[in-house]
Amino acid sequence: MRVELDPFEERYRAVTDPWNFASSPYEQHRYDIVEESLGDRRYERCFEPGCSVGSLTERLAARADVVIASDTSLSALVTASKRLARFDNVRLVHGAIPETWPNGRFDLVVFAELGYYWDIADLGVLAAKLASSMAVGGDLVAVHWLGDSSDHLLNGRVVHDVLATTFGPATSRIEEPNFVLERWRR
């Protein structure tokens, strides 16, 4: 089971950036930690599902030759397309995962603030899909808020526990009071 997707579009129609991804100190710090977790590695193909308004995508575009970023909200993607217009290496895709999944393998997948929108069983299916799209030597970076929300089906810790059942122990882990980040290398 997955949460209903219509409320996301409604939120982005009402407010351009309803979670303040582009401006909140929490989000900017989280993006900094994502970048730090990648070290100085350059990537060929990156996939970022749930890209929202493209704030993290903008940073990923500087680190990868090709970035495919998707979101279920067309309104969010309109905002992202404006933010990312200067990057010719970013392709935005409208659709929900796992139904809309880009072809090919990725040496970087960033699964951020997204996993708690599925129940445990469907997140397990999604984790298997993530694993099957990873290139050998590729990185999965997952980062999730540790709080509870009425629109989440799972807590961030549970999301990472489910991912670990597919990917095994994380290569690296950073836990802060508000979020956890783990990186797995295939």
118 bridge partner residues: 2
pLDDT tens, residue by residue, 117-141: 999 999 999 999 999 999 999 999 9
Q: How far apart, in whole angstroms, are the C-alpha atoms of residue 32 and residue 18?
A: 20
Domains defined along the chain, listed by start: 6-185 (3.40.50.150)
Q: What is the pTM of this model?
A: 0.96
Per-residue pLDDT of the chain (186 residues; tens, 9 = 90+): 888 899 899 999 999 999 999 999 999 999 999 999 999 999 999 999 999 999 999 999 999 999 999 999 999 999 999 999 999 999 999 999 999 999 999 999 999 999 999 999 999 999 999 999 999 999 999 999 999 999 999 999 999 999 999 999 999 999 999 999 999 999
What strands, in cross-sheet order, belong to the sheet with 179-185?
90-94, 64-71, 43-49, 106-112, 134-145, 179-185, 172-175
| Angle (deg, nearest 10), helices 120-132 and 156-167 | 50
Structure tokens at 94: 């409208």
